[in-house]
């Protein structure tokens, strides 16, 4: 039963429901108390976190300056004119940053300092500069980067690069409430206590523990007896915190033998954009700092992938609006002249992280017959649709105002299409038909998606149509790439030209 604490062995469903009804006020008070302790005792009401891609980008820019400026100084001190020239200099910087990225130098944990990131930075710099000098010798162009210039460049750049990494790590640690991953531990007993003690002993560090959630305990105490961390309450409180964007990572402090319990938690948390890490013992938790070897779920579009996706959305939305501005004005005029009522239609949809938002569309129905909950899906020849609306729906032009949703960050250009809460498949709510339906909300909804270009768009008269759509959406989330987005956009243009499955 989704969203309900599993019954104890031997307890019937009727008794469980009765207990939930009787104790619901206490659950609500417990959740509020958990959130209150979270705000009162952890980092002053959880200050707004800095985006991790922003931190990594800033560190990358600092590293580039630390490598580039000494290269210019080495050239001038040796009096060798344009050696290394601008091309060699830029290539040396880019190669150093690439090697450092491959070595994990821009992972979130590496930004907090330590010996391993410094060794990675030293190896990347030495490997790139000495490798370039050797390559110049082998290809018969030693003047491109003489060995003396490469050695002097390395001698100047290495201490500057290391000093920059140490200084930035201190600054990031000083801002740990805004830079650290906010984590919640799920578990109980000595395992959770050892894990909490280890993580708190590394503060300020890359992970900040907010509290403990016990998926078996009914009501929270003031603190978790074993770990000393705030006990936030039952699993429902964790789900609420994730929806509010207050949790980045969930650490399952459960033994290997609790396979069914771990599987149930993973199934439940797979609906949310949160990272799930299994730490059955302290050794494995140390191993996942920063290695993802025991991570069970990853956040979609984490790190630079999310930055690239957002940049793609903004560029495409701005370009599309520039092209479609005049046609959109003409469509608005046609809608207004065709029938009385507003030009735009706002409909509530469920979006990223199960949060509701209002999607914008050109109005295609008569005002007194609009269906804000989409309880009756539009079919071919639907009398509720206006004359202009039928043309707009057929060509998918009614979706153009959603470019504004993309610019506002509520939607993406490509992603799972958002559905109205009241839509049904063969008379049943979508959530009842597809077990993993809510997992679609781990990524922002899109103007178009993989399901649409495969032909799974339009009304869902059968459950099969919805299941195929959800299957394609989840495949897109798991296999996302910029190349996949480009292919979907091209296939969408072809599908729109054919006007398939659009009513």
Q: Please list the residues that pair with 280 across neighbouring strands.
A: none
Cα 293 → chain centroid: 19
Q: Can you say whether the dihedral through the CA atoms of 299, 300, 305, 309 is positive or negative?
A: negative
Q: What is the pLDDT of residue 202?
A: 66
Sheet holding 249-253, edge to edge: 231-233, 207-213, 181-187, 249-253, 275-278, 295-297
| Mean pLDDT across the chain | 80
Ordered domains of the chain (ranges, CATH):
13-44+176-297 (3.40.50.720), 52-174 (no CATH), 304-498 (no CATH)
User: Could you give the CA distance from residue 503 to residue 461 in angstroms, rounded to a whole number?
Assistant: 14
User: Where does the pLDDT of residue 285 fall: very low under 50, low under 70, confident under 90, or very high at 90 and above?
Assistant: low
Residue 40 has pLDDT above 50, yes or no: no
Taking the CA atoms of the chain, what radius of gyration do you get in angstroms? 28
Residue 378 has pLDDT above 90, yes or no: no
Average pLDDT over residues 58-84: 81
Q: What is the CB neighbour count within 10 angstroms for residue 72?
A: 14
Average pLDDT over residues 425-453: 86
Model pLDDT for residues 245-258, shown as the tens digit of each residue: 889 889 888 877 78
User: Could you give the CA distance from residue 345 to residue 332 in angstroms, rounded to a whole number?
Assistant: 11
Whether omega for the bond prior to residue 420 falls within 30 degrees of 0, making it cis, is no
Average pLDDT over residues 477-492: 93
User: Could you give the CA distance from residue 377 to residue 22 in angstroms, rounded to a whole number?
Assistant: 39
29-43, 175-189, 280-294 — most confident range: 175-189
Q: What is the pLDDT of residue 436?
A: 83
Average pLDDT over residues 478-498: 89
Q: How many CA atoms lie within 13 A of 436 on its CB side?
A: 19
Average pLDDT over residues 391-416: 92
Q: In percent, how much of the chain has pLDDT > 90?
A: 33
Residue 21 has pLDDT above 70, yes or no: no
- At how many degrees (to 10) do helices 52-78 and 147-174 cross? 150
User: Where does the pLDDT of residue 88 fall: very low under 50, low under 70, confident under 90, or very high at 90 and above?
Assistant: confident
Model pLDDT for residues 174-225, shown as the tens digit of each residue: 998 888 888 898 887 677 777 777 776 666 778 888 888 877 765 555 555 5
Closest alpha carbon to 440 in 402, 404, 466: 466
Closest alpha carbon to 184 in 317, 306, 42: 42
Tokens representing residue 287 in the block: 């191993």
Residue 162 has pLDDT above 60, yes or no: yes
DSSP label at 398? G
User: Where does the pLDDT of residue 425 fall: very low under 50, low under 70, confident under 90, or very high at 90 and above?
Assistant: confident
Cα 32 → chain centroid: 26
Q: Can you say whether the dihedral through the CA atoms of 310, 313, 315, 321 is positive or negative?
A: negative
Q: What is the pLDDT of residue 450?
A: 93
User: Could you give the CA distance from residue 155 to residue 71 in angstroms, rounded to a whole number?
Assistant: 10
User: Where does the pLDDT of residue 53 fall: very low under 50, low under 70, confident under 90, or very high at 90 and above?
Assistant: confident
Q: How many CA atoms lie within 13 A of 12 on its CB side?
A: 3
User: Where does the pLDDT of residue 3 fall: very low under 50, low under 70, confident under 90, or very high at 90 and above?
Assistant: very low
What is the DSSP track for 420-478? -TT-EETTEEHHHH-TTGGGGGGS--EEE-HHHHTT--S---SHHHHHHHHHHHHHHHH
Residue 161 has pLDDT above 50, yes or no: yes
Which carries the bigger pLDDT value, residue 329 or residue 145? 329
Average pLDDT over residues 430-459: 86
Helix (H, G, I), strand (E, B) or coil at 344: strand
User: Could you give the CA distance from residue 451 to residue 461 in angstroms, rounded to a whole number?
Assistant: 16
The DSSP element (H or E) to which 213 belongs, if any, is strand 207-213
Residue 71 has pLDDT above 60, yes or no: yes
Average pLDDT over residues 464-492: 91
Residue 39 has pLDDT above 60, yes or no: no
Average pLDDT over residues 288-294: 46
Residue 263 has pLDDT above 60, yes or no: yes
Q: What is the pLDDT of residue 10?
A: 39
């Amino acid at each position: 039963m989704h969203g309900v604490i599993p019954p104890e062995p031997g307890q019937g469903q009727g008794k469980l429901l009765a207990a939930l009804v009787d104790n619901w006020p206490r659950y609500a008070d417990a959740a509020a108390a958990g959130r209150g302790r979270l705000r009162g005792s952890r980092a002053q009401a959880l200050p707004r976190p800095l985006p991790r891609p922003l931190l990594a980008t800033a560190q990358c820019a600092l590293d580039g300056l630390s490598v580039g400026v000494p290269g210019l100084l080495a050239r001038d001190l040796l009096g060798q004119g344009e050696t290394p020239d601008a091309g060699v200099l830029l290539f040396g910087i880019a190669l150093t940053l690439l090697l450092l990225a491959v070595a994990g130098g821009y992972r979130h944990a590496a930004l907090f300092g330590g010996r391993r990131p410094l060794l990675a930075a030293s190896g990347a710099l030495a490997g790139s500069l000495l490798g370039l000098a050797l390559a110049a010798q082998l290809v018969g162009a030693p003047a491109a980067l003489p060995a003396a210039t490469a050695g002097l460049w390395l001698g100047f750049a290495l201490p500057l690069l290391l000093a920059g990494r140490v200084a930035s790590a201190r600054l990031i640690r000083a801002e740990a409430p805004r830079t650290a991953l906010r984590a919640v531990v799920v578990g109980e007993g000595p395992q959770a206590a050892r894990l909490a003690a280890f993580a708190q002993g590394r503060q300020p560090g890359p992970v900040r523990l907010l509290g403990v959630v016990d998926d078996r305990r009914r009501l929270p105490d003031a603190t978790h007896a074993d770990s000393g961390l705030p006990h936030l309450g039952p699993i429902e409180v964790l789900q609420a915190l994730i929806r509010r964007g207050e949790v980045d990572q969930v650490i399952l402090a459960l033994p290997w033998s609790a396979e069914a319990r771990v599987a149930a938690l993973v199934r439940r948390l797979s609906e949310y954009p949160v990272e799930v890490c299994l730490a059955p013992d302290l050794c494995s938790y140390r191993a996942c700092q920063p290695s993802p070897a025991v991570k069970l779920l990853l956040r979609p579009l984490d790190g630079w992938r999310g930055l690239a996706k957002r940049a793609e959305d903004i560029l495409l939305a701005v370009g599309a609006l520039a092209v479609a501005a005049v046609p959109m004005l003409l469509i608005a005029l046609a809608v207004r002249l065709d029938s009385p009522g507003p030009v735009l239609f706002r409909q509530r949809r469920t979006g990223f992280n199960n949060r509701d938002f209002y999607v914008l569309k050109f109005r295609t129905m008569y005002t007194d017959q609009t269906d804000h909950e989409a309880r009756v899906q539009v079919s071919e020849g639907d009398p509720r649709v206006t004359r202009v609306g039928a043309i707009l729906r057929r060509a998918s032009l009614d979706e153009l105002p959603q470019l504004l949703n993309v610019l506002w960050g509520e939607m993406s250009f490509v992603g799972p299409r958002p559905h109205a809460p009241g839509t049904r498949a063969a008379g049943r709510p979508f959530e009842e038909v597809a077990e993993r339906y809510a997992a679609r909300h781990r990524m922002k909804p899109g103007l178009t998606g993989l399901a649409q270009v495969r032909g799974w768009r339009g009304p869902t008269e059968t459950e099969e149509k919805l299941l195929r759509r959800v299957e394609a959406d989840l495949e897109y989330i798991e296999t996302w790439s910029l190349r996949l987005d480009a292919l979907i956009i091209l296939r969408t243009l072809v599908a729109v030209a054919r006007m398939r499955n659009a009513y």
